[in-house]
Amino acid sequence: MHSRSLKWFIFFLLISASLNSSAGSSLSQYQDVSLIQNAVKDFIDSHASSSGGIVQVEVGQIDSRITLPRCADLEPFIPPGNRLWGKTSVGVRCGGEYGWTIYVPAEIRVMTNVLYVVRPIARDQPIGFDDVSLQMVNLTQFPEGVFTELSQAVGKIAAVNITAGQPVRPNMVRAPFIILRGQNVKLTVMGRGFSVSSEGLALSDASDGQVLQVRNSAGRVISGLARHNGIVEVRP
């Protein structure tokens, strides 16, 4: 290679190295968005409620055109009015001289068993094991209060007509009545260090622990708590 050509070759190498170094230095000044996404996922993993299910987290993409100053201490947080449930967003802030805040979309799924009705159940009908089944679903797509265990419904009584395919909710069932309207009951007045009993007539149906009214032998109407064996507990 001629001396002149060699000089130009070395000159181009130096220019190229300088440009690459400048570009690398420029890039290193900006925050790697993948680190922000990782911080959001770690935050959700450690704070999201499992509700007894398997938590699945999907962190949304961050616009690659966004350039933020590099941050040594990323601080994820839950924005006011948000919660770590379903489709949401998580804030990430950076303090210091070049402070910034960004909001990252995320979806949180909680996969768990939900109790479904497999055949129609008429009002006042007892609910048995054959009437319901558990199905694995994303709990975040359901209103709060759906049943997730067989024991929450089996043995209870349907409070309304329930069609097949519905998830079972608390307002659909009630506990069995242990006292029926018109039944003769034993009124028991419980006090500190004493107990007084008398007879009465139940004026309504009641489940265990439910308040009902009783007419005593003197015709007075008294309220008490339904207990097993036809007992109504009255607190003075």
Per-residue pLDDT at 28? 64
The stretch 196-207 carries a mean pLDDT of 92
Do 64 and 132 have their domain in common?
A: no
Q: Domain tally for the chain?
A: 3
The string over 86-103, giving b where at least 16 C-beta atoms fall within 10 Å of a residue's C-beta and e elsewhere, is: eebebbbebeeeeeeebb
Q: Give the separation between CA 199 and CA 187, rounded to whole angstroms.
A: 6
Residue 14, by phi and psi: left (phi above 0), alpha (psi -120 to 50) or beta?
Answer: alpha
Position 21 in a domain? no
Model confidence pLDDT, tens digit, residues 2-33? 555 544 444 444 444 444 444 444 446 888 99
Per-residue pLDDT at 72? 86
Do 190 and 225 have their domain in common?
A: yes
Per-residue pLDDT at 34? 92
pLDDT over 90 (residue 197)? no
The stretch 112-131 carries a mean pLDDT of 96
Do 126 and 168 have their domain in common?
A: yes
pTM: 0.66
Place of tokens 């909680």: 110
pLDDT over 60 (residue 191)? yes
Per-residue pLDDT at 114? 95
Position 15 in a domain? no
Do 194 and 218 have their domain in common?
A: yes
Do 155 and 193 have their domain in common?
A: no
Do 56 and 93 have their domain in common?
A: yes
Boundaries of domain holding 82: 33-110
Per-residue pLDDT at 189? 87
Strand partners, 201: 184, 215
DSSP letter at 61? P
The stretch 200-222 carries a mean pLDDT of 92
| pLDDT band (50, 70, 90) for residue 194 | confident
Q: Give the separation between CA 119 and CA 130, rounded to whole angstroms.
A: 9
Q: How far is CA 109 from CA 59, 87, 168, 235, in A?
A: 11, 9, 20, 47
Q: Would strands 231-234 and 184-191 be described as parallel, antiparallel, or unpaired?
A: parallel
Contact at 8 Å (CB) between 186 and 174? no
User: Where residue 197 sits, what CATH number does that domain have?
Assistant: 2.30.30.760
Helix (H) or strand (E) holding 39: helix 33-47
Position 230 in a domain? yes
- Higher-confidence residue of 71 and 50: namely 71
Smallest CA-to-CA distance from 107 within 41, 173, 59 is with 59
Per-residue pLDDT at 235? 81
End position of a domain, from candidates 110, 135, 152: 110
- Higher-confidence residue of 72 and 78: namely 78
Angle at 127 between CA 123 and CA 128, to 5 degrees: 150
How is residue 35 written in tokens? 């680190």
Position 156 in a domain? yes
The three-state secondary structure class of 103 is strand
End position of a domain, from candidates 59, 94, 110: 110
Q: How far is CA 35 from CA 39, 61, 98, in A?
A: 6, 12, 17
Find all residues with CB under 8 Å of 8, minimum gap 6, and list them: none
Of 41-45, 182-186, 196-200, least confident by mean pLDDT is: 196-200
The stretch 199-206 carries a mean pLDDT of 94
**What's the mean pLDDT when you consider all of the chain?**
86
Q: Give the separation between CA 159 and CA 72, rounded to whole angstroms.
A: 58
Q: Give the separation between CA 81 and CA 8, rounded to whole angstroms.
A: 63
Place of tokens 């070395």: 10
The stretch 59-86 carries a mean pLDDT of 92
End position of a domain, from candidates 174, 192, 226: 174
Do 100 and 115 have their domain in common?
A: no
The stretch 35-41 carries a mean pLDDT of 95
Do 38 and 102 have their domain in common?
A: yes
The stretch 181-192 carries a mean pLDDT of 88
Share of the chain above pLDDT 70, in %: 88
